[in-house]
């Protein structure tokens, strides 16, 4: 029996994983793809956005959202049963795509493909790491040498740099292919510098493909035939030997919620101000705008905010506003909520 090839899409918060997957679905060339999505944060924004495309290559029943919690830490509870259900179907998909949360370590997930119920039926065709060229250029994942030296002086056993740098290294160290995304946001010289930085973290021979809005040819992305689960030892990881477990205490997330918003521009301005004031890493969600039939999607990665109307609210859907906010540990939730409350028009928050 041939194994169902599976591609693991990894990459930090906001690197462009969902964007790349949407591109993939729209250019699937007849392949039947199933999608397994895992998000950090309680609202399934990515699943909603992908379902919003209504793609023949991936009908809604082939889009499976894992319960909240990082995929690398809930492998046995959630991921494996989901995979088994997919593989047990009378006609399994041609290819499975897994979108990991931006905070997930890919290696424990790849290791799950060694489990008896999966091993004979699916294989990791490749681990694809998405990189936000603009965020790398801005130094998001670089170690602050002074801060690290101070932290090490206080705790000599510290082997690590920042949590963001750790994820950057973990995700690149496990990759079979890297997509250097958001090339539109940096100039040629910066891109070359970022590519060199990325290349220093990858295993020898790993291809780096440049992309604008995740537009990578499906033929390059799928069919790598890496069988990554058989090749775990060649993938460096900081957490090897720690029982393959980690926690996400380095990051905080919460949801800002409300009903219909009367002045979306005021809300967007308030969000931008809070991102700047608190160094928020990621904001995403849907806004119900009073008087508008469609939902407003809000996406922010660091200081860059994007917003657009995607589809009309369904009759049975509650018209509510929900924004997921993610930052490094210590994010001042109370201050951010208080600052956004007026723009949410005083509608009770839940």
Ligand X SMILES: Nc1nc2c(ncn2[C@@H]2O[C@H](COP(=O)(O)OP(=O)(O)OP(=O)(O)O)[C@@H](O)[C@H]2O)c(=O)[nH]1
Instruction: Lay out the site mask for ligand X across 213-232 (x = CB under 6 A, - = otherwise).
Output: xx------------------
Q: For ligand X, which stretch binds (CB under 6 A), given 120-128, 212-220, 248-256, 287-295?
A: 212-220
Please classify residue 189 by burial: count the beta carbons closer than 10 Å to its beta carbon, then call 0-12 exposed, 13-18 middle and 19+ buried.
exposed
Which of 5, 11, 126, 302 is close enough to bind ligand X by CB under 6 A?
11
Give the whole-angstrom CA distance, residue 79 versus residue 62.
Answer: 15
Give the whole-angstrom CA distance, residue 127 versus residue 228.
Answer: 7
Nearer to ligand X, 102 or 173 (CB): 102
Nearer to ligand X, 23 or 118 (CB): 23
- Let me know: does 43 contact 322? Beta carbons within 8 Å: yes
Q: For ligand X, which stretch binds (CB under 6 A), given 166-174, 206-214, 262-270, 286-294?
A: 206-214
Torsional sign, CA 274, 275, 276, 279: positive
Q: Which DSSP string corresponds to 27-91?
A: T-TT--EEEEE--SSSS-HHHHHHHTT--TTS-GGGEEEPPSS-TTTSIIIIIHHHHHHHHHSSS
Within 101-120, the residues that bind ligand X by CB under 6 A are 102
93 counts as binding ligand X under rule CB under 6 A = no
Which of 77, 88, 184, 317 is close enough to bind ligand X by CB under 6 A?
184
13 counts as binding ligand X under rule CB under 6 A = yes
Sheet holding 177-181, edge to edge: 63-65, 33-37, 95-99, 4-11, 122-132, 177-181, 207-210
38 counts as binding ligand X under rule CB under 6 A = no
CA angle 317, 318, 319 (to 5 degrees): 110
Q: For ligand X, which stretch binds (CB under 6 A), given 14-22, 68-76, 169-177, 195-203?
A: 14-22
Instruction: Lay out the site mask for ligand X across 18-37 (x = CB under 6 A, - = otherwise).
Output: xx------------------
Within 292-311, the residues that bind ligand X by CB under 6 A are 299, 301, 306
DSSP 8-state assignment for residue 13: T
44 counts as binding ligand X under rule CB under 6 A = no
Nearer to ligand X, 102 or 108 (CB): 102
Which of 138, 151, 185, 255 is close enough to bind ligand X by CB under 6 A?
185
Q: Hey, what are 1's tokens?
A: 């029996």
Q: Please list the residues that pair with 33 across neighbouring strands.
A: 95
212 counts as binding ligand X under rule CB under 6 A = yes
Contact footprint for ligand X (CB under 6 A): 11, 13-19, 46, 102, 181-182, 184-185, 212-214, 282, 284, 299, 301, 306
């Amino acid at each position: 029996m041939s194994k169902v090839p599976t591609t693991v899409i990894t990459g930090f918060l906001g690197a462009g994983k969902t964007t790349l997957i949407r591109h993939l679905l729209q250019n699937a060339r007849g392949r039947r793809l199933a999608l397994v999505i895992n998000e950090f944060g309680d609202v399934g924004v990515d699943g909603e956005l992908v379902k919003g495309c209504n793609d023949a290559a991936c009908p809604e029943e082939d889009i499976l959202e894992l319960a909240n919690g990082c995929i690398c830490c809930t492998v046995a509870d959630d991921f494996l049963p989901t995979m088994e259900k997919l593989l047990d179907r009378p006609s399994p998909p041609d290819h499975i795509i897994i979108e990991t949360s931006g905070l997930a370590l890919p290696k424990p997930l790849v290791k799950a493909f060694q489990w008896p119920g999966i091993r004979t039926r699916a294989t990791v065709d490749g681990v694809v790491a998405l990189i936000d060229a603009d965020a790398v250029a801005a130094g998001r994942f670089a170690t602050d040498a002074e801060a690290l030296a101070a932290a090490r002086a206080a705790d000599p056993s510290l082997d690590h740099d920042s949590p963001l740098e750790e994820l950057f290294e973990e995700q690149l160290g496990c990759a079979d292919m890297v997509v250097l995304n958001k090339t539109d946001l940096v100039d040629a010289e910066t891109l070359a510098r970022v590519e060199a930085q990325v290349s220093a973290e990858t295993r020898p021979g790993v291809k780096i493909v440049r992309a604008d809005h995740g537009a990578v040819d499906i033929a390059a992305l799928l069919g790598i035939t890496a069988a990554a689960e058989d090749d775990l030892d060649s993938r460096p990881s900081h957490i090897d030997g720690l029982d393959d477990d980690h926690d996400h205490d380095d990051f905080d997330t919460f949801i800002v919620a409300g009903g219909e918003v009367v002045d979306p521009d005021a809300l967007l301005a308030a969000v931008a101000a809070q991102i700047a004031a608190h160094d928020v890493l990621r904001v995403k969600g849907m806004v119900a705008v009073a008087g508008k039939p469609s939902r407003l999607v809000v996406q922010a990665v660091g200081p860059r905010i994007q917003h657009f109307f995607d589809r009309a609210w369904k009759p049975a859907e509650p018209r509510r506003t929900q924004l997921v906010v993610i930052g490094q540990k210590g994010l001042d939730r109370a201050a951010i909520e208080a600052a956004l409350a007026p723009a949410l028009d005083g509608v009770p928050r839940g």
